[in-house]
Amino acid sequence: MDDQNIILFQNYLDQKLTLEEKKTFEQRLQADPEFESDFELYQEVNDVVSHLHSEERNKFKEALSQASSTFFEKPAKDKEAKVIRFKPWQYSVAASIALLIGFFIFQNSGSPSLNDYVFSDTITLTERGSENLHTLAETSFNKGTYPEAITHFKSLLAEDPNNAEYQFYMAVAHDNLQQFDAASILFTNLIKGSSAYKYKATFYAAISQWRQDNIAQAKRYLESIPDGASEYKVARKLLKKL
């Protein structure tokens, strides 16, 4: 984006171009995608930044805090939230879900099923860098859109390369995409380290090996989890079953 284009953008927005120039400008928008996206971004930055500094926004902010005071500073019982109760049909839905869950647990009580052990928690990342990059990583991971989650973890790691938490979840994301090599590099790194994720990584590295049918390697990982680690018990149980 060079200065000449920028001045052109502003002249176009301020309607300072001649008819001929305007036509050329619009043709270029159609023909040149980068020119177009630069122009759109220029416009967006302009819109947002000028909005943030506008008098109108200040007025709204004042009105809003007024509304907030009116609501929050009135007698307490007026603003008690209503309790939401189940409707009868919702009870039956809840009951059938409970039944289904029971059924699956019953079904799986025999030989170990990989699905019981794969990582399925909803994650919440510890706050460090920018709030929003975290949210993006967290949401995409929780939604199961792992390629997107990986991109976000990469940028988070670019800022904070030794962060074990990011490395761990990025490994899980790779593992879920069956990108076992990428997962393994990250897991190994964590296993060699001494972070809080050391044994968690060991455990899920084992699960990853199991997923690839390398039972022997999976067992080796499980065996290396020492008594005292929070994964110890479940690792031992799984070792017996495998």
Binding residues (CB under 8 A) for other proteins: these are: 1, 3, 6-7, 9-11, 14, 38, 41-42, 44-57, 59-61, 63-68, 70-72, 79-82, 84, 124-127, 130-136, 139, 143, 148, 151-152, 155, 158
Q: In which residue are the tokens 């790194």 written?
A: 189
Q: Which residues are within 8 A (CB) of 236 and not within 5 positions of it... i.e. 6 or more apart?
A: 222
Q: Which is nearer to other proteins, 97 or 99 (CB)?
A: 97
Q: Minimum distance between the CB of residue 240 and other proteins, rounded to whole angstroms?
A: 30
Closest C-alpha to 218, from 203, 231, 228, 229? 203
Q: Shortest Cβ distance from residue 126 to other proteins (Å)?
A: 6
**CB contact at 8 A, 205 and 234:** no
Q: Which is nearer to other proteins, 71 or 103 (CB)?
A: 71
The encoded tokens of residue 156 equal 């988070």
- What's the min distance (Å) between Cβ of 3 and other proteins? 6
Long-range Cβ contacts of 7-10 (<8 Å, 24+ apart): 9/38, 9/39, 9/42, 9/43
- Residue closer to other proteins, measured from CB, 64 or 99: 64
d(CA 230, CA 200) in angstroms, rounded, equals 8
Closest contact distance (angstroms) between CB of 14 and other proteins is: 8
Residue 146 or residue 210: which is nearer to other proteins going by CB? 146
| Neighbouring-strand partners of residue 229 | 227
Q: How far is the CB of 225 from other proteins (least distance, A)?
A: 23
